[in-house]
Amino acid sequence: MRSERRTGEARAAFWMLLPALSLIAVFFVLPILASFLLSLTDFDLYALASPRNARFVGLANYVRLAEDPTFWKALRNTFLFVLAGGPASVAVALGAALLVNARVTRFKTLFRTAFFAPVVTTMVAVATVWRFLYHPRVGLFNRALDLVGLAPIDWLGDPRWALLSICLLAVWKNFGYQAILFVAGLQAIPESLYEAARIEGAGPWQQFRHITLPSLAPTFLFVAVTTSIGYFQLFSEPYVMTPDGGPLGSTLSVAFLMYREGFRWWNLGYGAAIAFALFAVILIATRLQLQLFGRRA
């Protein structure tokens, strides 16, 4: 009887899974495999006109990538985004979460809503607003600097500032999301742990170090990994704010480079190679993080 029920369940499971999984297979997995094959050819605009113009070139695209200073620049920029933006947004998010979750805090929901508002807004829209806020002469940020007597900064035109300006936007937009995750993690910590510590005379800093941080470790890992994956894939912000790749190419991200090569110049083979290189980088970085931070969990 039980085995009959089991085959009934298995059959139902097959039909229930079929639609979603086949869509994923056709529109996600298949293209990714095809992407790899594409990266082994020099498929480009000429090939789109006539397939005879495509050649199989093996790993030549990857070799070319390794020798392409623009790719390395984009990779460097992307790492800077991840290493500057990632910890920054996590730090702000954790701080905000701790403050919102504190016992003395009132109006928790209001604060939570305020922090989360930037998260749900469309990136193109906010990038447009921030592009104007960053305008060297009429933008609000420089006007504010002027008010306190500081010299104006060329936020998007100065190679030293452009990348940080975009990071600032990304942090502003995302910290609310991460803060909510941290709040959930904080709320899952049993109050009894804190009480026991207080009875033993531990002060707030010790409570933080020995209870809060370790308990947050899984949440921290999740947030760190998802945040860095997001920053590795950064596209909309540089595309809207610095459409030419920024001063001296300082805001060109790998995803933006892939878009440019693939959809602006239609060097599809080369673009696919860039996409795969990005994938490889993300994979390695994620593994590293899981190993580094996962151990402490």
Q: Where are the beta strands (DSSP E) in the chain?
A: none
Q: Does 21 contact other proteins by CB under 8 A?
A: yes
Q: How far is the CB of 165 from other proteins (least distance, A)?
A: 13
Taking the chain, what is the end-to-end CA distance rounded to the nearest angstrom?
Answer: 43
Among 74, 166, 167, 278, which residue sits at the site for other proteins (rule: CB under 8 A)?
278
Task: Compute the Cα dihedral for 163, 168, 173, 175 and give only its sign.
Answer: positive
Q: How far is the CB of 84 from other proteins (least distance, A)?
A: 18
The window from 28-36, 78-86, 193-201, 206-214 that contacts other proteins (CB under 8 A) reads 28-36
Enumerate residues 149-178 that contact other proteins by CB under 8 A: 157, 159, 172, 176-177
The window from 7-15, 75-83, 193-201, 206-214 that contacts other proteins (CB under 8 A) reads 7-15
Q: Does 104 contact other proteins by CB under 8 A?
A: yes
Beta bridge partners of 56: 41
Q: How far is the CB of 277 from other proteins (least distance, A)?
A: 10
Residue 84 to residue 102: CA distance in whole angstroms: 27
Enumerate residues 70-99 that contact other proteins by CB under 8 A: 92, 95-96, 99
Residue 156 to residue 162: CA distance in whole angstroms: 4
Among 40, 41, 44, 238, which residue sits at the site for other proteins (rule: CB under 8 A)?
44
Q: Does 40 contact other proteins by CB under 8 A?
A: no
Q: How far is the CB of 291 from other proteins (least distance, A)?
A: 15
Enumerate residues 223-242 that contact other proteins by CB under 8 A: 223, 229, 232-233, 235-236, 240
CB 180 within 8 A of CB 112: yes
Residue 35 to residue 274: CA distance in whole angstroms: 10
Measured in degrees and rounded to the nearest 5, phi and psi for residue 38 equal -60, -35
Among 149, 199, 264, 291, which residue sits at the site for other proteins (rule: CB under 8 A)?
264
Question: Directed axis angle between helix 268-294 and helix 213-232, to 10°?
Answer: 170
Enumerate residues 243-262 that contact other proteins by CB under 8 A: 243-245, 247-249, 255, 258-259, 262
Q: Does 288 contact other proteins by CB under 8 A?
A: no
User: 189: closest CA among 162, 215, 167?
Assistant: 215
Between 23 and 150, name the residue whose CB sits nearer to other proteins: 23
- CA torsion, ordered 148, 150, 155, 159, to nearest 10 deg: -160
* Mask for 115-154, x = binds other proteins (CB under 8 A): xxxx-xxxxxxx-xxx-xx-xxxx-x--x-----------
Q: Which residues contact 277 (CB under 8 A, 6 or more apart)?
A: 62, 65, 71, 75, 254
